[in-house]
Structures are given as C-alpha cells and as structure tokens.
Amino acid sequence: MKFGISHSPHQWWTRIEQLEEWVLKAEQMGYDGVFVPDHYSLPFPPKASLVDAWTTLSYIAAKTSEVRVGSLVSPIPRWLPSQLAKVIASVDILSNGRVIVGLGAGFYRDEFVNYAPSGFFDEPRVRFEKFSEGVKVILELWTKESVTFRGKYYILEGAILYPKPVQKPYPPIWCGGHRARIIEAAARYFNGWVPSRFEVPTSFGSSSTISSPEEYRGYVERIKEYLQKFGREENTFTFGILGEISHDMDLVEKYREAGCQYYIVDVAPPGKQIPKPAECIELTEKFAKEVMPCFT
C-alpha cells in the first residue's frame, strides 16, 4: 500500500517557509505523493484562504525531487479543458514527470458561479457530460499533434499543445466521486479512482462521500467488473481514498482489505478547525513513523 498526503483545501501556513518545511518533511518521511485540493471557494470556515492547486503544485515540485504531485480533484466543468490540459502538461514538465491528475465534475455552486467560464452551476447531468467530454479533449491534446474537436460543449480548431507531458502517453489520471456514472467512467477512461471520506455541506445539501470500508469494497468490485467489461487490465488501475490523518491503524487495514492501494491523508480535513503549522508538520511525521511502516 502506498500513502499520499494532502495539505487540505485551506492555507494553514502563515509563512511560505512553513509550507516548504512540510513538503520536504513529507518527501523525507516516504510519502509517495503530495496532493492539493482544487477549490477556489468553500462554504466553511468563513473567509478561509484557499490557494490555487496547480500553482501550488508547481511550487511543491520545484522544492522537491522525488515525491509525486497531484490534484484532488480538478473540476473539469469549472475550467476550459484545453487550458487545464496546458497547465497540467506544464507542471508535469516542471516536475520532470511526477504529476498525478485528479479530475472530477465539481459540486460547490459558488465556485462555478464566480470562477467557471460559463458563470453558472449546471445540473448534475450537464456537469457530468462536460466532465466526460472534457476528459476526451484533454487526452487528445496530450497525445495528438493537432486536435479538431466538435463536441456538445467544447470546440477546438486545429489546437496544438506543445510541449507534451513528460509521462507517456500522459500522466496517470484519477477521478473522484462514486455516483454510478462516475464509476463507469473511471473504469472506461481513468487509471485510478480516489473518492473522499469527507462530507462537505454545500448550498444544495452535502457532497457525496464514502462512509465505510464495506461501502468502499462494493464500489471496488463494481469498478473491477467494468474494467473486465471494457477489456482493461485490473493491475494497471489504482484504487485510492482520501481520509483524515489519524492513527487508527485498524481503519486503514479495513480499507486495505476492501481493496484500497493508495491511502491519502489530509492534515486539515474540511469542516474542522484549521491546525497550526507546527501541528500539521508534527502530524505528518507522526503518521509516517507510526502507521505507514505497518503497511509496507
């Protein structure tokens, strides 16, 4: 089992040196990847600071040499897919091929109203359609010399994206969420699946979440069935999850038994008080020393 760590959606450091110290500690302690949630606004806590994911990942890549860097997750409908493809390719180049790309459909209305190109929040069906079509746009730009694309939502005319990502044919792409359409899309197009164990209250209720290892196991089995249906190799697919950083080894073990291969811990989970910088660094080191060795 591999372990990643997320710096949380919110800026918990007060000086950039603290972020650098945390990142270097994560690399030193053997975390496989450092992940940044891609949010521009969230409903709590009020007036919390959130950094741009891919800008921050570029900084993290520059300060490290081995640890992988990734998003959790970038909501395609909030971006222009071609622009997102360019940004990710650039970070893969700057990191010398260490990017893991987390992609999703998005869930928080205010982010879309205030930051999406369209300026409004589509119904779930439309967001999923934009997500699916956007994935196709991104993959074509990464693998073809020139792309002309005429979809329902996106149009490209002889688009050229150079330089291409370092990783071939492209960086691993993981998706979040666990609704039926996302599960099928994960098995059809993606290299991994990383849902969240956090429930985030939104303007329209709550975001979807995995509530138990037993529920997680059911989705793993369903994805495996789809992988077989689509003629894809199970051993090339990564089953992950995002959870709170804690020392509950029994819980980690239950998720491993349920099929989890990549366990990502968040140093400042959504909905809880943002910890101080020293606490984040201490939690990062403690988890690596006390929990990770039991699963390697």
The predicted pLDDT at position 200 comes to 58
The predicted pLDDT at position 143 comes to 98
Per CATH, is 2-295 categorized as 3.20.20.30? yes
Give the residues of the chain that fall short of pLDDT 50. 203-206
The predicted pLDDT at position 76 comes to 97
Contacts of 219 (CB under 8 A, 6+ apart): 178, 183, 193, 195, 210
Cβ(89)–Cβ(49) below 8 Å: no
* Local structure of 58: helix, strand or coil: helix
The predicted pLDDT at position 251 comes to 95
Q: Give 125-162 pLDDT, tens digit per residue.
A: 999 999 999 999 999 999 999 999 999 999 999 999 99
Q: Give 187-231 pLDDT, tens digit per residue.
A: 999 999 999 987 655 544 445 588 899 999 999 999 999 999 999
What does the alpha-carbon distance between residue 268 and residue 244 come to, in Å, rounded to a whole number?
8
Contacts of 83 (CB under 8 A, 6+ apart): none
pTM attached to this predicted model:
0.95
Cβ(241)–Cβ(216) below 8 Å: yes
The predicted pLDDT at position 9 comes to 85
For the chain, domain boundaries: 2-295
What does the alpha-carbon distance between residue 222 and residue 292 come to, in Å, rounded to a whole number?
28
Among all chains, which residue has been given the structure tokens 């496989």? 32
149 φ/ψ angles, rounded to the nearest 5 degrees = -135, 130
